[in-house]
Amino acid sequence: MSGFKEEAHLITIPLYFVACICCLFAGYSSSRRNEHGFHLAFCLSVGLLGFILMITLFDEGNVARYVSTCIACCGTFSAFPLLLSWLTNNVGGHTKRAMAIGFVIGIGQIGGVLAPQ
């Protein structure tokens, strides 16, 4: 059973690496073009596509599920930094900006309270 744990950790490395590259690219592109909203909508659409593929390809095998998980990770992991950067660009003042970021992160963490493992 111990071999399974190492394998499970190792197969997450490519997922997080690809998601990190997508996150960096989305952040650079949205800041360069100053289009945070469009990039955020695109990333969320990619994440939704990944989750839909996960549901529809559940019985197709491990590779299909792994690729759909990679697509979902790319979309969802790229969306949150874009949301925070868009928020900080649209809220004026340091105090208001800090309160807005804290509020968004706090609301996002309610899911951990409502759906404990």
Q: What is the pLDDT of residue 29?
A: 94
- Assigned token pair, 41: 């909508």
Q: What is the pLDDT of residue 99?
A: 93
Local confidence pLDDT in tens for the 117 residues of the chain: 455 777 888 888 999 999 999 999 999 999 999 888 899 999 999 999 999 999 999 888 889 999 999 999 999 999 999 998 888 888 888 999 999 999 988 988 888 888 776
Integer-rounded Cα radius of gyration of the chain: 17
- For the chain, what are the domain ranges? 2-114
- Assigned token pair, 87: 């928020």
Report d(CA 69, CA 42) in Å as an integer: 17
Q: Which sign does the torsion angle of CA 93, 99, 102, 105 carry?
A: negative
How many residues can be counted in the chain? 117
Chain centre distance of CA 19: 8
Q: What is the pLDDT of residue 1?
A: 43
Q: What is the pLDDT of residue 74?
A: 94
Q: Which secondary structure element, helix H or strand E, spans residue 62, and what is its range?
A: helix 62-90
Q: Which sign does the torsion angle of CA 83, 40, 73, 58 carry?
A: positive
